[in-house]
Amino acid sequence: MNYEFMITGTPLPPCMPLPKAALRLPVSNTAKVMYARLLDEILTRGTEDCNGILFVRFPVTKLAAALSRSPQTCKRSLNELEQAGMIMRVRQRIGEASHIYILLPKEDTDHE
């Protein structure tokens, strides 16, 4: 891979979003990167449920490949994100990927 310095007007390569508030949340860095990847996925390929809320289907094996992590590490990170209230998984029938809803952290108005 080639690298170059940034100058004014340099276009950014494709990037994934990560809310600043997510940086302060008590989850591992792997979980934060996963959150950014899930958020990117929902913004580009999200599906609306019957209430108009976006969700994504991202099987653990495909998520593991996308993040270059093991499926076990991805399962742990998904659990971290769910316990922290950053995602909500809705299980589907056997053999179907869960629906993953992304919850957005609100910025703290008490901090600078």
Cβ partners under 8 Å of residue 63, min gap 6: 34, 37, 74, 78
For 46, other C-beta atoms within 10 Å of its C-beta total 18
The total of structural domains in the chain comes to: 1
User: How many Å apart are CA 27 and CA 54, to the nearest integer?
Assistant: 23
CATH of the domain at 98: 1.10.10.10
Q: Is residue 3 part of a domain?
A: no
pLDDT exceeds cutoff 90 at 66 = yes
> Is the model's pLDDT at 29 over the cut of 80?
yes
Could you tell me if residue 56 is inside a domain?
yes
Q: Model confidence over 76-112: pLDDT tens digits?
A: 999 999 999 999 999 988 888 899 999 987 765 455 4
Tell me which residue range forms the domain holding 39. 26-102
- Decide if 63 is inside a domain: yes
6 in a structural domain: no
* Type of residue numbered 97: A
In a domain, 7, yes or no: no
